[in-house]
Chains A and B, each alone.
Chain A
Amino acid sequence: MTSSRTVIVLKRFAQAIPTLFGVIVVTFLLTRALPGDPAAYFAGPAATPESIAQVRAALGLDQPLPAQFARYLQDLATGNLGQSISTGQTVLSDILTRLPASLELTLSALLLSLAIAMPLGILAATRQNTMVDHVCRAVVTAGVSLPVFFTGLALVYVFYYQLGVAPAPIGRLDFAYISPSPVTGFFVIDALLAGDGETASAALGQLVLPAVTLAIFTLAPLARMTRAAMLQVLASDFIRTARAAGLSRRKILLGSALRNALLPVVTTFGMVFSFALGANVLVEKVFAWPGIGSYAVEALVVSDYAAVQGFVLVMAILFVVINLLIDLSYTLIDPRVGFDG
């Protein structure tokens, strides 16, 4: 049994390789699809013909496409994503310094979203066609209709301008505080690790509004899927048997039913992550959150293409890894799953 599980896991890892390759091909094509002369773009707006020619040779743009691709792969293998024109740093180091901010925001938003969506979905499924169910449906439909940047601005207006309970939307930490020394890169956790309660609560205060904004956006698909999956499971034979055997309602719901309903919910999680990573960009812009999303937006404005492409590639790789983890977690939740499909 254990060995077949290992084979399944290894197989799934192998399946990620062509996807990763496809992602790299697309990003490569995007770098070559630049309007006009890519070398001119990478050389920056103040470039002279000589410096453009220099960049062209340096980037290998004077060589045939397959050779360029081989070179691109070589660069990626050594972590060379090019140089950002606007910051003067390498794109990789820029992204690595900013990635923890994005992850802190996205992960806390998704945890929050799960914590609300799952109970809401279960509640709606057990009380089908009652008020609770209708409220759930309305919330869910409204949630997907809200532009995420609009929700963010509305929350800022109400909680910062009107009520004054939230801090100004100026990033991860007010200027009055010093960033905690990085351990995990998550400010709240790092400050707690350093025993600095005040900084931790300040960082948490900054995090709440953007996380809630993102959570509202991802709530809808999760709640909808939980409800649908629970409804299907609750109507199945083994639940009827469990009921007949006299198991407590709680045990049936949370033990048997939820465990079986988790599989489709986890499947949706991949899609939710796709939305969340995209919405992340908009939320970061609204809250001046110094993550990789706002980095890419700033880079777009000044036509800093190496930075934008580095961002697209990192996001895509992140997403492939997340999907891999999600698929692997299937085996933990449901031992029946194979990966042949």
Chain B
Amino acid sequence: MDQAKDLMPMAVPALAPAPGGLLRHMLYVLRANPMTLLAFVLLALFLVAAVLGPLVVPHNPLATDAASALMPPSLQHWFGTDDLGRDVFSRVVVATRLDLVISVAAVALSFAGGAVLGSLAGFYGGWTDRIVSRVLDTVMAFPLFVLAMGIVAALGNSVGNIVLATAIVNLPFYARLSRTEVNIRREAGFVQAARLSGHSDLSILATQIFPNALPPMMVQISLNLGWAILNAAGLSFIGLGVRPPTPEWGIMVAEGARFIVSGEWWLALFPGAALMLAVFTFNMLGDGLRDIVDPRARS
């Protein structure tokens, strides 16, 4: 015990510079690139809207009111009302949760699936690698949005299948990344050390090699989230997945599209702007994360 106490003060300063340095580096990146800071603020805003949205909106997003249909933005209805008299602002805010859940779930699935497939292919090589690579190439041989349409059409038109389709078309990006990251470390010194100390292949892969692939994959996640939101909203824009009257940005833009030619712009503009802002936030965040993780890759 005494010995441990003696060691403690020595251990702490030895560890301290790493997190402090990271924090300082993050602050430096944030200061050098105010857009990243803005992205973090916007992200917080979206998260608040997703968690608290349904509790704080001024109107029921589903309540119709024929008397006040197609009203332009006013103090009472900040974003105006749609053709059924529903409050557009409330619908846009409430939709945040569904849009974020769809894209986060899709990206989480592609991350998990891609990490497993890519790591196995990168670690074992040979036939595993050949089969996995061939399957990934086949997925990439489709225009991705078109493949997503085909998958949803085949599996059935539901929100769950939108998530699945988006996950499948995104999976190759994660799989390729983790394959490369694992492959270059397959024979690294620390891997051989772990092998000599009696770890099994899978345990080496999971605890020694894969954590090294995490930073670039985190960046990929953030860049990918924006695309996943766009993809899901695009699918619901053409009538897949989410059904009316559920508030969701893509379907709201689709509903508002009919009124654009007669000048009622607010129906499509506000959900579209929310969608744009969300994608912009994630893209900015991805760029910022990349600067933090790998400053050299900045372009």
Residues of A within 8 A of B (CB): 18-19, 22-23, 25-27, 30-31, 33-35, 141-142, 144-150, 153-154, 156-157, 160-161, 168-169, 224, 227-228, 231, 273-275, 277-279, 281-282, 285-286, 296-297, 300-301, 305, 308-309, 311-312, 315-316, 319-320, 323
Contacts and interface: CB of A to CB of B under 8 A. Distances in A.
A19 B138 contact: yes
Contacts of B262: 161
15 contacts: A34-B154, A145-B276, A147-B230, A149-B234, A149-B257, A153-B257, A168-B261, A278-B234, A281-B145, A282-B234, A305-B154, A308-B153, A309-B150, A316-B146, A323-B141
A281 B238 contact: yes
A149 B299 CA distance: 28
A157 B138 contact: no
Contacts of B155: 33, 35
B263 A285 contact: no
> Taking chain B's interface residues, is the majority helix, strand, or loop, or is none over half, making it mixed?
helix
Given A19-B138, A141-B284, A156 B143 contact: no
B272 interface: yes
Interface of B: 134-135, 137-139, 141-151, 153-157, 226, 230, 233-234, 237-240, 250, 253-254, 256-257, 260-263, 265, 268-269, 272, 275-276, 279-280, 283-284, 287, 299
Contact of B283 (A30, A141, A149, A160): A141
Contacts of A296: 149
Given A147-B253, A147-B276, A305 B142 contact: no
A316 B141 contact: yes
Contacts of A305: 153-154
A278 B150 contact: no
A252 B3 CA distance: 69
B283 A145 contact: yes
Contacts of A22: 134-135, 137-138, 141
B237 A153 contact: no
A228 B299 contact: yes
Nearest to A312: B150
Given A25-B138, A153-B257, A277-B146, A146 B276 contact: yes
**8 tightest A-B contacts by CB?**
A278-B145, A22-B138, A150-B272, A312-B150, A277-B143, A145-B280, A35-B156, A30-B154
A160 B142 CA distance: 34
Given A27-B150, A308-B153, A274 B144 contact: yes
Contacts of A142: 280
A26 B280 contact: no
Nearest to A144: B283
B24 to A, nearest CB: 24
B154 A33 contact: yes
B132 to A, nearest CB: 13
A300 B239 CA distance: 8
Contacts of A311: 146
A23 B283 contact: no
A315 B142 CA distance: 7
Contact of A312 (B142, B156, B257, B284): B142
A30 B150 contact: yes
Given A23-B141, A147-B233, A312-B149, 17 more contacts: A18-B134, A22-B135, A34-B154, A141-B284, A145-B280, A146-B279, A147-B275, A150-B272, A153-B260, A231-B299, A278-B146, A279-B145, A305-B153, A309-B153, A312-B146, A312-B147, A319-B143
Contact of A308 (B142, B150, B272): B150
Contacts of A227: 299
B265 A316 contact: no
A157 B267 CA distance: 12
